[in-house]
């Protein structure tokens, strides 16, 4: 019975503290008399985690910071049965139980954040990445704002000969964990992962229990949290360098500590300033401009990210619709296998992405393609193909930083461009040809101009080698027009497919 035995021949169980996913935690006293207070003893539950347990013990033995929980005693056995570690009891719970006390309280938030940042900076300098910074691992030994960072159970010891986290395994809670650690496959874990988690933790405290989404903290939706003055804005600017993608994040904890100390000492710095009221006002206005500029950049980056997500989604959906349409036409064309009509979705990768210069300041960049191939001789040596390119439109006459670079802001522009290819199969006096099919230029939602002469335009040839605006068949639409533009797209497909079939017949 656990309560009737001694751990390590000295630690006697006096009660339960809690049970976690990987271990039991008991109240214990030292029968050897060296320690007079009650302590917490963590006993390993899952014996498959003995490697991690050993890492936690080794890490805590190496770390020595006033804001990292102390290791009092430990034992690690190979089978895990006798493995335990002893630490002080945090008599006043964890941050999750006290979050209500920190909402909008910038002094208290900075006080706690600075202790955690210094503790993590110490750990990083010792080659340890915590990877599990969350409210439950920030403990309070007293009623004040002094804290301990605890639970190094899934920490990464960069000095260890073996690592105990399998490639691709997500560690830590997803709401606080750095995004690069949630991606499948191996990842080079750095101190920046803890920077992200601490940033989420700081906002969690300051907001009274909310998390930052993938949207930047500089987004307008968070304005109300930071309306309390200059120190609040400085905290916001710090978070904008922490809870962001890896390429824009502080890579070490040292600058986080520096910025937190500056926020803490802001009022003292101002009281000793040599600046007069006018200069202080100018500095404040300059700070607002910097903040507003950063906010505008963050909003632009969020819109641009959503635009690319929309481009990926719409392209795949349109290509699938076109493939389904061409598959049905293949079954109509080839009911008994005479022609050999085959529809395909996305040709083999490896060929260069097609980019089409429209001649009017934009490029069509191929995203996906659906095709229909007709083999017109029994030996399958000769074939013709209709390829429907699903493209997004890039207005390259503008800079990529222009909000109209991909079309209307938040509503990127698309085009379906049909192409014809003909392979002679090595026949004499014949070669391979590829070109853009002639036809109407359609723009969804824009009424077509009524021509002076109502007679249809006659094209002596089905295709041309160069894209020509107004002559080459194309359907344009914006991302938000999908799937409303389906009928317009299918109308163009019908026209080009019918022209292609007649052309194939003439070539036989």
Domain count, the chain: 3
Name the H helices within 126-224: 192-207
Domain end residue (candidates: 88, 107, 135): 88
Do residues 314 and 479 lie in contact, with contact meaning Cβ atoms separated by under 8 Å? yes
Query: Stretch 496-504: mean pLDDT, rounded?
Result: 88
Q: Are residues 368 and 345 in the same domain?
A: yes
Distance CA 250, CA 11 (A): 43
Q: Which long-range contacts (CB under 8 A, 24 or more apart) does 9-17 make?
A: 10/73, 11/39, 11/41, 11/73, 11/84, 11/86, 13/41, 14/38, 17/89
Q: How far is CA 479 from CA 314, 371, 409, 444, in A?
A: 7, 22, 11, 11
How many CA atoms within 13 Å lie on the side-chain side of 19?
2
Q: How many CB atoms within 10 Å of residue 155?
A: 25
Instruction: Determine, yes or no, domain membership for 289.
Output: no
pLDDT of residue 478: 95
pLDDT tens digits, one per residue of 183-226: 644 567 899 999 999 999 999 999 998 888 766 788 888 889 99
Do residues 108 and 202 lie in contact, with contact meaning Cβ atoms separated by under 8 Å? no
Q: Are residues 195 and 252 in the same domain?
A: yes
Instruction: Determine, yes or no, domain membership for 292.
Output: no
Q: Tokens 């710090």 — which residue?
A: 238
Q: Are residues 253 and 139 in the same domain?
A: yes
pLDDT tens digits, one per residue of 130-142: 999 999 999 999 9
pLDDT of residue 376: 67
Find the domain containing 15 and state its range: 1-88
Q: Are residues 48 and 98 in the same domain?
A: no
Q: How many CB atoms within 10 Å of residue 243?
A: 27
Query: Stretch 373-381: mean pLDDT, rounded?
Result: 70
Whole-number percent of the chain with pLDDT over 90: 47
Nearest to 7 by CA among 26, 21, 20, 34: 26
Domain end residue (candidates: 67, 88, 109): 88
Instruction: Determine, yes or no, domain membership for 302.
Output: no
Q: Are residues 212 and 101 in the same domain?
A: yes
Q: Are residues 372 and 432 in the same domain?
A: yes
Instruction: Determine, yes or no, domain membership for 282.
Output: no
Q: Are residues 211 and 71 in the same domain?
A: no
pLDDT tens digits, one per residue of 409-429: 989 999 999 999 888 765 554
Instruction: Determine, yes or no, domain membership for 56.
Output: yes
Instruction: Determine, yes or no, domain membership for 280.
Output: no
Distance CA 201, CA 219 (A): 18
Instruction: Determine, yes or no, domain membership for 80.
Output: yes
Distance CA 442, CA 448 (A): 8
Write down the pTM of the prediction: 0.62
Q: Are residues 30 and 95 in the same domain?
A: no
Q: What angle do CA 250, 403, 444 make, to 5 degrees?
A: 135
- Residue 46: give its domain's CATH number: 3.30.200.20
Sorted by sequence, the CB contacts under 8 Å of residue 401 that are 6+ apart come out as: 300
Q: Are residues 409 and 437 in the same domain?
A: yes
Distance CA 297, CA 350 (A): 35
Q: Are residues 142 and 180 in the same domain?
A: yes
Domain end residue (candidates: 88, 114, 140): 88
Do residues 413 and 393 lie in contact, with contact meaning Cβ atoms separated by under 8 Å? yes
Q: Are residues 461 and 358 in the same domain?
A: yes
Q: Are residues 242 and 368 in the same domain?
A: no
Instruction: Determine, yes or no, domain membership for 285.
Output: no
pLDDT of residue 167: 40
Q: How many CB atoms within 10 Å of residue 443?
A: 16
Q: Please check the confidence at residue 45 and state whether its pLDDT lies above 70.
A: yes
């Amino acid at each position: 019975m656990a309560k009737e035995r001694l751990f390590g021949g000295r630690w006697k169980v006096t009660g339960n503290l809690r049970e976690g996913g990987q271990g039991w935690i008991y109240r214990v006293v030292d029968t050897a008399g060296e320690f007079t207070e009650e302590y917490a003893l963590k006993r390993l539950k899952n014996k498959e985690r003995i490697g991690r347990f050993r890492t936690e013990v080794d890490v805590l033995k190496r770390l020595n910071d006033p804001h990292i929980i102390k290791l009092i005693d430990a034992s690690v056995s190979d089978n895990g049965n006798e493995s335990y570690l002893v630490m002080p009891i945090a008599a006043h719970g964890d941050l999750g139980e006290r979050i209500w006390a920190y909402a909008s309280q910038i002094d208290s938030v900075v006080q706690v954040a600075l202790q955690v940042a210094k503790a993590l900076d110490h750990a990083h300098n010792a080659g340890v990445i915590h990877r599990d910074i969350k409210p439950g691992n920030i403990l309070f030994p007293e009623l004040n704002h002094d804290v301990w960072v605890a639970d190094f159970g899934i920490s990464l010891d960069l000095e260890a000969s073996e690592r105990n986290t399998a490639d691709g395994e997500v560690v830590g809670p997803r709401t606080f964990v750095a995004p690069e650690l949630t991606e499948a496959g191996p990842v080079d874990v750095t101190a920046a992962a803890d920077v992200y988690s601490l940033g989420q933790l700081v906002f969690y405290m300051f907001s009274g229990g909310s998390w930052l989404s993938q949207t930047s903290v500089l987004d307008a939706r968070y304005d109300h949290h930071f309306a309390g003055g200059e120190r609040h804005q400085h905290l916001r600017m710090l978070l904008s360098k922490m809870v962001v993608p890896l390429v824009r994040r502080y890579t070490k904890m040292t600058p986080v500590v520096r910025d937190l100390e500056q926020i803490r000492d802001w009022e003292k710095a101002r009281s000793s300033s040599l600046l007069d009221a006018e200069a202080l006002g100018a500095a404040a206005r300059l700070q607002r401009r910097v903040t507003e500029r950063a906010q505008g950049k963050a909003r632009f980056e969020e819109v641009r990210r959503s635009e690319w997500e929309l481009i990926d989604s719409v392209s795949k959906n349109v290509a699938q619709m076109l493939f389904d349409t061409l598959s049905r036409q293949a079954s109509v064309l080839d009911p008994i296998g005479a022609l050999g009509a085959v529809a395909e979705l996305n040709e083999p990768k490896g060929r260069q992405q097609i980019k089409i210069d429209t001649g009017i300041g934009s490029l069509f960049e191929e995203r996906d393609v659906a095709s229909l191939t007709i083999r017109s001789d029994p030996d399958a040596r000769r074939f013709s193909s209709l390829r429907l390119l699903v493209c997004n439109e890039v207005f390259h006459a503008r800079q990529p930083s222009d909000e109209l670079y991909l079309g209307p802001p938040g509503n990127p522009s698309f085009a379906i461009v049909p192409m014809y290819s003909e392979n002679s199969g090595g026949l004499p006096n014949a070669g391979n040809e590829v070109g853009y099919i002639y036809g109407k230029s359609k723009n969804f939602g824009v009424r077509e101009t009524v021509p002076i002469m109502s007679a249809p335009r006659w094209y002596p040839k089905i295709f041309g080698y160069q894209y020509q605006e107004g002559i080459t068949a194309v359907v344009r639409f914006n991302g938000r027009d999908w799937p409303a533009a389906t009928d317009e797209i299918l109308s163009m497909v019908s026209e080009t497919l019918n022209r292609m079939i007649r052309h194939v017949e003439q070539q036989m």
